[in-house]
């Protein structure tokens, strides 16, 4: 399989090369188990995966990829509204899951995935063709339900190879993280990256400080390369004993949201490491990063474009901004890691590319004269980043409005020390409590999209056109 060459080779039989939530397997066994999955789903238009933090999720994703069937990872805690949208929108013909009794009412057959399948079926599968979707990841926009982002095997391979170069990531590494297996960070980098580079993988189930410390001090193959979102790094710093254990690591990498400069400094004081900061999106994969061979990495900078991409900064009037280290503009990207369009949404696709083919990230940035990039914020306040998760204000507002007691709803991201931003809601409603509304959203969407607080107001502030003035909502 072109995307994952290191599944075979000299270390293929190392017994615990891949560990997820305490369950270990060799690469060879992983491939056999994935082959058994591939044999069951070959020819399907797409297949969903119940993406719990378990070894079976890795097997299911690989099985789909081996069979050349686009894989759609679904957050395991998502409620029926989000789940049914993702299954329907992606055209998934089946759900792969470790437990067959999960989601019995999901409307597609549930195919069981086991970790101990003995088959040599994998040899008969070619894997995804280079330019077809290997994965379809769902991501939130400012309004409406999440959109499918098809990601090709070629884009993934180009991204992983460039990051391996930037981070000097090799088969000698032991990668450690505990990030969710349904996004770019945890799945593409955190699983496919380990398989492609041939490094060992220790997935800690949850990205807790104590689990990272345990992996760093393991007697056999202690962790060398650690991934986390900023919330993970700030929680690690709040537990200095655990943080100090990571001083033996080779490299700590932060991404998915801005790493606050004080956390960068505290992490250095406790571990001796200046974190590598990198930037990306579901639609573009990781496009900017500082490098392992650049020891004097500065906080708040995400380095240069990785080899397969180029960037530019554009002002509101469409003019190009020179790299002066001061002028802020929208970051635009093009290159081999960038997707070709949202699944079945030509209008959204057209709106996200410029007429000359650059992807509009919606992130505001500054570029130093030496080409170093700094991300300074997002153009739209309706796209919230909380704990590294991207959450559309419109999706949460629609979920609140689905409650019979809610007449109006507005959602914003409030600054939060722990999560970067926290989702908060303002509603016009009668006869319902704050807790009931939080639970209502948590049970229809993914749990992380729930508002952390709900304020009851008599009316939402609106302008003369009737549009909600979110700048006037107080948190």
Interatomic CA distance for residues 304 and 359, integer angstroms: 17
Q: What are phi and psi of 183, to 5 degrees?
A: -130, 170
- Asked if 19 is part of the footprint of ligand AMP (rule: CB under 6 A), the reply reads no
Task: Kindly tell me the burial class for residue 221, based on how many C-beta atoms sit within 10 Å of its own C-beta (0-12, 13-18, 19 or more).
Answer: middle
- Asked if 397 is part of the footprint of ligand AMP (rule: CB under 6 A), the reply reads no
> DSSP string spanning 341-376?
--TT-HHHHHHHB-TTS-EEEEEEEEE-TTS-EEEE
CA distance readout (Å), 474 to 15, 408, 409, 423: 55, 16, 14, 13
Among 19, 92, 231, 446, indicate the residue that binds ligand MLC (CB under 6 A).
Answer: 231
Among 204, 256, 311, 446, indicate the residue that binds ligand AMP (CB under 6 A).
Answer: 256
For 146, the token pair is: 């999440």
- Asked if 232 is part of the footprint of ligand MLC (rule: CB under 6 A), the reply reads yes
Closest CB to ligand MLC among 203 and 450? 450
Closest CB to ligand AMP among 360 and 452? 360
Q: Which helix (H) or strand (E) covers residue 50, if one does?
A: strand 47-50
- Asked if 280 is part of the footprint of ligand AMP (rule: CB under 6 A), the reply reads yes
Interatomic CA distance for residues 11 and 424, integer angstroms: 49
CB atoms within 10 A of CB 123: 11
Closest CB to ligand AMP among 38 and 237? 237
Q: Which one of ligand MLC, ligand AMP, none is in contact with 439 (Cβ closer than 5 to 8 A by kind)?
A: ligand MLC
Among 179, 263, 306, 437, indicate the residue that binds ligand MLC (CB under 6 A).
Answer: 179
Q: Which one of ligand AMP, ligand MLC, none is in contact with 186 (Cβ closer than 5 to 8 A by kind)?
A: ligand MLC
Q: Which one of ligand AMP, ligand MLC, none is in contact with 277 (Cβ closer than 5 to 8 A by kind)?
A: ligand AMP
Of 299, 412, 314, the C-alpha closest to 361 is 314
Cβ 374 to ligand AMP shortest distance, Å: 9
Cβ 175 to ligand MLC shortest distance, Å: 15
From 12-20, 117-125, 253-261, 460-468, span contacting ligand AMP (CB under 6 A): 253-261
- Asked if 303 is part of the footprint of ligand MLC (rule: CB under 6 A), the reply reads no
- Label the pairing between strands 18-20 and 200-203: parallel
- Asked if 139 is part of the footprint of ligand AMP (rule: CB under 6 A), the reply reads yes
- Label the pairing between strands 383-386 and 389-392: antiparallel
From 5-13, 224-232, 346-354, 466-474, span contacting ligand MLC (CB under 6 A): 224-232
Q: Which residues contact 466 (CB under 8 A, 6 or more apart)?
A: none
Q: Give the burial string for 3-16 (b: 16+ CB within 10 Å, else e).
A: bbebbbeeebeeee
Among 57, 199, 271, 282, indicate the residue that binds ligand AMP (CB under 6 A).
Answer: 282
Question: What are the residues binding ligand AMP (CB under 6 A)?
Answer: 139, 184, 255-258, 277-282, 302, 361, 363, 375, 378, 385, 390
Q: Which residues bind ligand MLC (CB under 6 A)?
A: 179-180, 183-186, 207, 229, 231-232, 255-256, 280-282, 387-389, 438-439, 442, 447-448, 450
């Amino acid at each position: 399989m072109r995307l994952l060459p290191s599944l075979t080779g000299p270390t293929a039989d190392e017994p615990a090369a891949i560990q997820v939530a305490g369950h270990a397997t060799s690469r060879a066994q992983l491939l056999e188990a994935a082959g058994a999955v591939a044999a069951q789903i070959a020819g399907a238009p797409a297949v969903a995966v119940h993406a719990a933090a378990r070894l079976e999720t890795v097997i299911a994703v690989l099985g789909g990829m081996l069979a050349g069937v686009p894989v759609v990872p679904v957050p395991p805690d998502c409620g029926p509204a989000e789940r049914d949208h993702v299954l329907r929108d992606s055209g998934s013909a089946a759900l792969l899951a470790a437990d067959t009794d999960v989601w019995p009412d999901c409307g597609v057959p549930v195919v069981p995935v086991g970790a101990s399948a003995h088959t040599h079926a994998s040899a008969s599968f070619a894997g995804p063709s280079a330019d077809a979707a290997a994965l379809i990841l769902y991501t939130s926009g400012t309004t409406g339900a999440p959109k499918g982002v098809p990601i090709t095997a070629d884009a993934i391979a180009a991204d992983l190879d460039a990051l391996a170069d930037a981070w000097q990531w090799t088969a000698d590494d032991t990668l450690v993280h505990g990030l969710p297996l349904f996004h770019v960070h945890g799945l593409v980098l955190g699983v496919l990256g380990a398989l492609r580079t041939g490094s060992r993988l220790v997935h800690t189930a949850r990205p807790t400080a104590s689990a990272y410390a345990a992996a760093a001090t393991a007697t056999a193959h202690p962790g060398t390369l650690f991934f986390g979102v900023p919330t993970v790094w700030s929680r690690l710093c709040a537990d200095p004993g655990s943080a100090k254990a990571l001083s033996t690591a080779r490299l700590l990498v932060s991404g998915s949201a801005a790493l606050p400069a004080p956390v960068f400094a505290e992490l250095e004081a406790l571990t001796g490491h200046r974190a590598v900061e990198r930037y990306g999106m579901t639609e573009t994969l990781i496009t900017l990063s500082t490098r392992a061979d650049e020891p004097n990495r500065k906080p708040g900078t995400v380095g240069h474009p990785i080899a397969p991409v180029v960037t530019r900064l554009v002002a509101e009037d469409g003019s190009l901004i020179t790299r002066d280290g001061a002028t802020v503009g929208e970051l635009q990207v093009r290159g081999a890691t960038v997707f070709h369009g949202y699944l079945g949404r030509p209008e959204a696709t057209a709106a996200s590319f410029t007429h000359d083919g650059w992807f509009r990230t919606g992130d505001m940035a500054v570029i130093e004269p030496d080409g170093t990039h700094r991300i300074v914020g997002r153009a739209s306040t309706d796209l919230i980043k909380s704990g590294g998760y991207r959450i559309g204000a419109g999706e949460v507002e629609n979920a609140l409005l689905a409650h019979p007691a809610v007449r109006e709803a507005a959602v914003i991201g409030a600054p939060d020390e722990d999560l970067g931003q926290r989702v908060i809601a303002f509603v016009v409603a009668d006869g319902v409590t704050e807790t009931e509304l939080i639970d209502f959203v948590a049970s229809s969407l993914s749990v992380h999209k729930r508002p952390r607080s709900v304020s009851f107001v008599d009316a939402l502030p609106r302008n003369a056109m009737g549009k909600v003035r979110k700048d006037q909502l107080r948190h």
